[in-house]
Amino acid sequence: MRSLLTAIALALTSVGAAFAQDYPSRPITIIVPFAAGGAADAIGRIMADGITKHIGQSVVVENIGGAGGATGSARVKNASPDGYTIGLGSMGTHAASVQLNSKLPFDPRIDFEYLGLVSSTPSVLFVRKDFPASTLKEYIAYAKAKGKDLKLGHSGIGSASHITIVLLSQLIGVEPTMVAYRGFGQTGNDILSGAIDGSCDLVAAVSGHVQGGSLKALVVAADERSPAVPDVPTANEAGLPEFKVETWTGFYAPKGTPPAVLAKISEAIAKTLGDPASVKRLADIGAGVPKAERQGGAYMQKLVVSEVDRWRKILIDVKVGQ
């Protein structure tokens, strides 16, 4: 029996190696679990362009929004483990969602093969351009006076935008009306039209609108100002140092994807993150590239496990309907 099992293992290894030699022989799809137009979409497309140059096949982005990123992430889980479908996950989809979504169709700690982090981006509180507050202090006073009449949009329960709004609201003691969308594109459109008042989301999602004057940013939830919105004060500067949310994003693949295939994708990702042109494109939207030691799959796997525990403690008392 032992000899038979050894023979089977060797045969599978041989098949996997042969498959990896031919990989990739057709286009690769990156599933971004939010609608087009947000930070995840922008990061995914920048990375897709870079990976295409380094892996020898075209890489395309498919946006599958819904359920705070759970719908698209589940699509990756159920995809064939052949390296032709990978996903872009974040602190929201692959950590906080475990606490906030009791029906999450996957366990991020065990259901994926991780490829590594690609960016780290602070969140920002932003509002419509004619919003009556222009500083965090003024926003807090306005939010307390308005209560449920203050309307903030987010990209679904467990998304980074949802988590950041929840944290800020807890810190300042308000309960705004929270409106769920499928992604930043929809949220942003309703803020621009005046249907809702604002949101909290990644700097990478809103920097262009802030720079163009169509949205007003009040505070960056980080220790340092973002080069993408240099005039926006930090949480420390604005008087709320506890307001810190920096969202990481990274790639993952279906469980069971051959190690040799994962290695090829990881190599292309690393080359993209080492390419000055790609780094500049990410920096221009406020997305910072992690240090080399934080880019591998092993590091991301450990990070996911630790982040699930961290956000469970932070969000333990949060009502899922918020």
| Domain of residue 281, CATH code | 3.40.190.150
Q: How many separate domains does the chain show?
A: 2
In this structure, is residue 145 part of a structural domain?
yes
Q: How high is the pLDDT of residue 158?
A: 82
Looking at the fold, whether 164 and 205 belong to one and the same domain comes out as: yes
Looking at the fold, whether 100 and 130 belong to one and the same domain comes out as: no
Looking at the fold, whether 259 and 113 belong to one and the same domain comes out as: yes
Looking at the fold, whether 234 and 128 belong to one and the same domain comes out as: yes
Looking at the fold, whether 92 and 75 belong to one and the same domain comes out as: yes
Looking at the fold, whether 202 and 287 belong to one and the same domain comes out as: no
Q: How high is the pLDDT of residue 314?
A: 82
Handedness of CA 62, 63, 65, 70 (dihedral sign): positive
Looking at the fold, whether 59 and 20 belong to one and the same domain comes out as: yes
Q: How high is the pLDDT of residue 315?
A: 85
Using left for φ > 0, alpha for ψ between -120 and 50, and beta otherwise, residue 213 falls in left
Q: Which structural domain, as residue segments, surrounds residue 227?
A: 122-238
Q: How high is the pLDDT of residue 100?
A: 87
Residue 180 and residue 168: Cα distance in Å, rounded? 17
Predicted TM-score of the model (pTM): 0.82
Q: How high is the pLDDT of residue 57?
A: 97
Residue 211 and residue 284: Cα distance in Å, rounded? 11
**If we measure between CA atoms, which residue out of 309, 307, 300 comes closest to residue 112?**
300
How far out from the chain centre does Cα 126 lie?
18
In this structure, is residue 321 part of a structural domain?
no
Q: How high is the pLDDT of residue 183?
A: 87
Task: Spell out, as residue ranges, where the chain has pLDDT lower than 70.
Answer: 1-20, 318-322
Looking at the fold, whether 231 and 130 belong to one and the same domain comes out as: yes
Name the domain boundary from 217, 238, 259. Answer: 238
Q: How high is the pLDDT of residue 12?
A: 53
Residue 152 and residue 198: Cα distance in Å, rounded? 5
In this structure, is residue 320 part of a structural domain?
no
Looking at the fold, whether 19 and 99 belong to one and the same domain comes out as: yes
Looking at the fold, whether 191 and 147 belong to one and the same domain comes out as: yes
In this structure, is residue 70 part of a structural domain?
yes
